[in-house]
Amino acid sequence: MQDRLMVALDVDCRDKALLMRDAVGESVGWLKVGLRLFVAEGPALVRDLKLTHKLFLDLKFHDIPNTVAQAIESAGGLGVDMVNVHAGGGEEMLAAAAGAAKAFPGMKLIAVTVLTSDPMPKEEAREVALQRAKMALDAGLDGVVCSVHEAAEIKALCGQNFITVTPGIRWGGQDAQDQKRVADPASAIANGSDYLVVGRPILHAPDPAQAAREAVAMMESAA
Ligand SMILES: O=c1ccn([C@@H]2O[C@H](COP(=O)(O)O)[C@@H](O)[C@H]2O)c(=O)[nH]1
């Protein structure tokens, strides 16, 4: 199950990112680089992190179709294993991104449906997430970022091979912080999540590897 756990490296510099990578080691299969770290350290760090783990570049591109297609080409050139766009960019943007991703068959392209921090009512989030997941499928993307609460229905609608990546993971009474739609690792697996994204519960743990192993144990309990 380690290969289905992604650690969000939401730290501000290379040294902290490498320390966290070494701390979690093989207890996780994936590292996720988001806006903060990429803006600070850029492609060189992404290449280095790729040497030990699979890499999800989580920059949520959302721009005109031509610009997003170009950004996807750049991500593909970096050799990342997964990259994302925001489905709010619409059908044409998604199709342009999917067209550009075709040149990089080893890279999965996914779309954010509704942010797990979005305060919209749960039922509304569910409807929008389903509609955007279908749009992403039709545009040729490989999957979506969604909350655990929508993952099972998205699989039912878009097929079992359509990837679901779920942030908003908390367990054992952890504070949800800014996340609105949260679930624990066992529920994520039970609901059909392919990959779980965990940031602060691992980053801020006294022993990050132990926190990752705890998450994996809960994932295994649901498999
Ligand atoms: O809908 C989304 C999309 C992306 N994220 C990212 O996942 C992590 C979650 O971090 P936690 O500290 O575990 O809350 C973070 O990098 C977000 O940018 C998301 O949370 N929700």
What is the model's pTM? 0.98
pLDDT interval class at 223 (50, 70, 90): confident
Domains (ranges, CATH) in the chain?
2-222 (3.20.20.70)
Centre of ligand 1 to C-alpha 180, Å, is 11
SS (H, E, C) 4-42: HEEEECCCCCHHHHHHHHHHHHHHCCEEEECHHHHHHHH
- Residue 58 annotated among the catalytic residues of the structure: yes
Per DSSP, the residues of 93-133 read HHHHHHHHHTT-TTSEEEEE-S-TT--S-HHHHHHHHHHHH
Atom of ligand 1 nearest to the CA of 198: 13
Q: Is 202 in the pocket of ligand 1 (CB under 6 A)?
A: no
42-98 residue pLDDT tens: 999 999 999 999 999 999 999 999 999 999 999 999 999 999 999 999 999 999 999
Q: Which one-letter DSSP state was computed for residue 178? A: T
Q: Which one-letter DSSP state was computed for residue 56? A: E
On whether the CB atoms of residues 175 and 207 are closer than 8 A, the answer is no
* Complex prediction ipTM: 0.99
Over range 104-122, report the average pLDDT.
98
What is the model's pLDDT at position 213? 98
Q: Which of 212, 221, 220, 217 is nearest to 29 (CA)?
A: 212
Q: Please tell me whether 66 is known to bind a ligand.
A: yes
Catalytic residue among 16, 48, 50, 63: 63
Look over the chain and give the mean of its residue pLDDT values, rounded to a whole number.
Answer: 98
pLDDT interval class at 131 (50, 70, 90): very high
